[in-house]
Structures are given as structure tokens and as C-alpha cells.
Amino acid sequence: MKSANGNSNISLLNIGERSASLSPLFAVLTGLLKAMELKKAANHPYLFDGAELPTESKDETLKGLVMNSGKLVLLDKLLVRLRADGHRVLIFSQMVRMLDILSDYMALRGYPHQRLDGMVASEARKKSIAHFNAPGSPDFAFLLSTRAGGLGINLETADTVIIFDVCRSMAHGYWSCVLIAV
């Protein structure tokens, strides 16, 4: 993809950098760090340390959480509608810290939910899945990391899948597609 002046997007990130003097490994690592920072910026500014300002009330906290991210503005509108229509939702994210933000959002909205990432112990994982799938479960959403999603999880009672941040690598992109098909 080219910018208006003909530079590729990646070359714009390297403006002012002395890439000729960098070792190839350092150059790759620098590129990966830049890609991660861009991914964080695309998901939510609160992923950066110190970006969240203190608030006086729960309503102000919710407003700040939602309005500071275009993705979360859209997700909020979508979830309000899905909840009103009686849907049950799976939300996947690659970043555990993004799951923290989404979990805070769910709590502030009053949406009952479960959460599963790679750090959840096996017994707690089983309980969360059983609670979500139980007849009459009040859970509206299940938040999952994409890595935890590939561990044979059966969440058959959900009818909607949202992948909050799409992985750009071929291997992870493949797994994201498999997760949608399950």
C-alpha cells in the first residue's frame, strides 16, 4: 500500500531511523515492536500505560472507556442491540490486556459474562464453560483469548462470534478462521 507521496506504510514508520547501521535481528525486533504498538493503538488507547484518566463516577468511567476507542464505540452499539434481541456472544481478542478492558466494560454495562485466557486453571475453565452453557444461564458474553480458544472449548449456546482484533500472521489468521467455523 502506498501513501500519497508514494512511500509504503512501513517505510513511513522508519523515517528518521538509521536502518543501515542496525543488525538484521534488531531491525526485525524493532519492526515487531512497532507493529505491536500500532495494534495497541488500533484496539484501545488504555492499552498504553498512563492513558486512562481517573474519573469521579461509574458513568464517567464507562463513557471514557467507550468513547476513547472507535472499535469500542461500535462494539458497544452492537452489544446493546444483540443483548436486547436475546443473543449470546463470544468475543475473541489476542491481547489479555484487551480482555481486561472488555471485562471492565462488561461489568460497567452490567452484562453478565465469563472470561477465559491462557492463565485460567483447568478446573476454573471447566466451571466457566459449564456456567455459560447451562440452561437458563444469565451470561450474555464469553470473553476469550485467541490462544485459549484453540483448546477444545465447546460453547454451543452462543449464537454470535466477534473477533475484536484480527491477527495478521498466517498461522494466527488460520486459527481465527477455525474459531469462527466451530
Report the C-alpha gap between 172 and 112 in whole angstroms.
28
Hunting for cell 502506498 — which residue is that? 2
Residue 68: inside a domain? yes
Cα 79–51–46 angle (5° rounding)? 30
Q: What is the DSSP letter of 20?
A: G
Give buried/exposed letters for 3-36 (b at 16+ CB in 10 A, else e). Answer: eeeeeeeeeebeeeeeeeeeeeeeeeeeeeeeee
Say how far apart CA 131 and CA 51 lie, in whole Å: 34
The predicted structure's pLDDT at residue 182: 32
Task: Note whether residue 142 is domain-resident.
Answer: yes
Does residue 104 lie in a domain region? yes
In a domain, 41, yes or no: no
Average pLDDT of the chain, as a whole number: 77
Q: For residue 11, tell me if it sits in a domain.
A: no
108 within some domain: yes
Query: From the centroid of its chain, how far is CA 131?
Result: 22
What is the per-residue pLDDT for 160? 92
Q: CA neighbours within 13 Å on the CB side: how many for 97?
A: 11
Could you list the residue range(s) of the whole structural domain that residue 152 is in? 58-181
- Which one has a higher pLDDT value, 153 or 102? 102
**Looking at the domain assignment, is residue 155 inside a domain?**
yes
Q: Is residue 110 domain-resident?
A: yes
Give the model confidence (pLDDT) of 81-129 as tens digits.
999 999 999 998 888 888 998 999 999 999 999 999 888 888 888 899 9
Q: What percent of the chain has pLDDT over 90?
A: 31
**CATH at 140:** 3.40.50.300
pLDDT band of residue 32 (cuts 50, 70, 90) is low
CA 139 – CA 78 distance, rounded (Å): 17
Number of domains comprising the chain: 1
* pLDDT for position 159: 92
Q: Is 54 exposed, middle or buried (0-12, 13-18, 19+ CB in 10 A)?
A: exposed
